[in-house]
Amino acid sequence: MNFTEDQKRFLEQWMDFLKIPSVSADPKYTKDVKAGAEWVKSALQKAGCPQTEIIPTPGHPIVYGEYLLDSSLPTVLVYGHYDVQPADPIELWDSPPFEPVIKTTQIHPDGAVFARGSCDDKGQMFMHIKAFEVMLENGSLACNIKFMIEGEEEVGSDNLEDFVKSNKEKLACDIILISDTGMIAQDQPSITTGLRGLSYMEVTVTGPNRDLHSGLYGGSVQNPINVLCEMISQLRDIDKKVTIPGFYDNVIELSKKERDEMEKAPLDLEEFKGSIGIDAVAGEKGYTSEERRSIRPTLDVNGIWGGYIGEGAKTVIPSKSHAKISMRLVPNQDWHEISKQFSDYFKSIAPDGVKVDVKTHHGGYAYVTPIETKSYKAAHNAYLETFGVAPIPKRGGGSIPIVPMFEKELGVKSILMGFGLDSDAIHSPNEHYGLFNFFKGIETIPKFYKNYAKLWNQD
């Protein structure tokens, strides 16, 4: 790949950005998260958006910028996040997570940048700043732009929610544009038309009031870890359906036509299994793998701990055991209700001899967007122009809880133009983002603005 001078500069800046460990979940990095916000502010200003500010919140700051051309033009609000997931487990990275390097892979023969946040979402968000710079430079900017880049997406966007609720006028816009999702393959773009909701719980099972000798007491009292495992195993049945009463009550089944439509972009199962090193897929009976990971709700244990996990062996019955359990939800499921149902059910299946505590961490609603809108068409045509292939609409399995919140509070839909691949290892060790994807994004985004402004004036 031969880079232009501009591309070289964009790449350098992006790699510079990736050196900042803006991990929102860990208070150890609070200063770095702030530095991330400052970096974004300065990048926006350098790109040509002088009206940019850092808005402090009780948590991490929000970066807001606007470039308003003319009130008769449509306004696009760009949303993204500069915070990243923790790098753990750090020992599984081939190169340090905050020292970005370019390496080639089979999927990325032109190279990919390896670093935490390279794709999710620093790389994808930065494409928008550079696309804006390009449009300003060649005089093609056809819409008003507002940027709202937050630092708490990976921890639930709580403070952004409050900011949106109290700044509706400032954030008024016609469409929200986001690159924080993926696409099917390098030669097959897709537009994400749905996101799942989420309900994230933590449970603690307490047995005896102290850790006990497992010989003196074992067999005569409840072991909180054994109990936790037994309880977790009751949360799904043999068909991998969630057993919590009421869990599926509000789930809307897709019509046969919609499911047939999904089948048109089938998942290559062999490739899917190979890419993550498994020899068999699993999931809810009666659904395809693609359906299981997008249009169906799920329940998964994210972490489980307790007892002795140090070197060697220790004979002990622990006093406590813990697990983090999350449920991905689909449209029409209310995450508050689901959290309550989980809590009630989990407590109801606790045996005598233990005490159970259930806590809700955070959650969010699912999201769907229609494809008959001007904004969807503008995105569709943008991909068609730059990839030479029509993008496929596709429901995604991940969650961006702020997206349904934007719809509720601002009454505005979001267009999810993601350029990442599932294999980019977001949230995992060795996260990376392809140079092809990065530059294709910078090329495709301006086409969206052009097409959207054009369609805006048509009835």
Q: List residues binding ligand BES (CB under 6 A).
A: 120-121, 153-154, 156, 180-182, 195, 198, 364, 396, 398-401
Omega cis (within 30) before 56: no
Q: How far is CA 34 from CA 98, 224, 391, 454, in A?
A: 16, 41, 37, 38
Nearest CB to Mn ion, comparing residues 391 and 398: 398
* Angstrom distance (rounded) from CA 442 to CA 450: 14
**To the nearest whole angstrom, how small is the minimum distance from the Cβ of residue 398 to Mn ion?**
7
Q: How far is the CB of 120 from ligand BES (least distance, A)?
A: 5
Residue 37: CB atoms within 10 Å = 23
Minimum distance of Mn ion from residue 416's CB (angstroms): 11
In angstroms, the CA 95 to CA 1 distance is 23
Q: Which of 180, 291, 424, 431 binds Mn ion (CB under 5 A)?
A: 180
Q: Within 351-410, which residues bind Mn ion (CB under 5 A)?
A: none
**Cβ atoms 82, 181 nearer than 8 A:** no
Distance from C-alpha of 390 to C-alpha of 190, rounded to nearest angstrom: 8
Extract the tokens encoding 294: 């997008």
Q: Of Mn ion, ligand BES, none, which one does residue 66 interact with (CB within 5 to 8 Å by kind)?
A: none
- In the complex with Mn ion, the residue whose CB is nearer, 84 or 231, is 84
CA-closest candidate to residue 265, choices 164, 394, 365, 143: 394
Residue placing its CB nearer to ligand BES in the complex, 65 or 156: 156
Residue 120 binds Mn ion (CB under 5 A): yes
| Shortest separation between residue 86's beta carbon and ligand BES, angstroms | 12
Minimum distance of ligand BES from residue 283's CB (angstroms): 18
Angle of helix 122-137 relative to helix 435-456, nearest 10 degrees?
Answer: 50
Task: Residue 37: name its binding partner from ligand BES, Mn ion, none (Cβ under 5 to 8 Å by kind).
Answer: none
**Distance in Å, CB of 100 to ligand BES, minimum:** 19
d(CA 217, CA 316): 9
Find where tokens 């068999």 sit: 280
The residue number with the shortest CB distance to ligand BES is 398
Judged by CB under 5 A, the stretch of 8-16, 118-126, 201-209, 242-250 that binds Mn ion is 118-126
Stretch that binds Mn ion, among 179-187, 246-254, 285-293, 429-437 (CB under 5 A): 179-187
């691949």: which residue's tokens?
421
Q: Which tokens in the block code for residue 375?
A: 């904004």
Comparing C-alpha atoms, which of 371, 380, 354 is closest to residue 451? 380
Taking the complex as a whole, how short is the minimal distance between the CB of residue 344 and Mn ion, in angstroms? 30
Backbone angles phi, psi at 345, to 5 degrees: -65, -45
Q: Scan residues 407-426 and list those touching Mn ion (CB under 5 A).
A: none
Instruction: Decide whether 14 or 67 has the Cβ nearer to ligand BES.
Output: 14
Binding of Mn ion by 121 (CB under 5 A): yes
Q: Which residues bind Mn ion (CB under 5 A)?
A: 120-121, 180
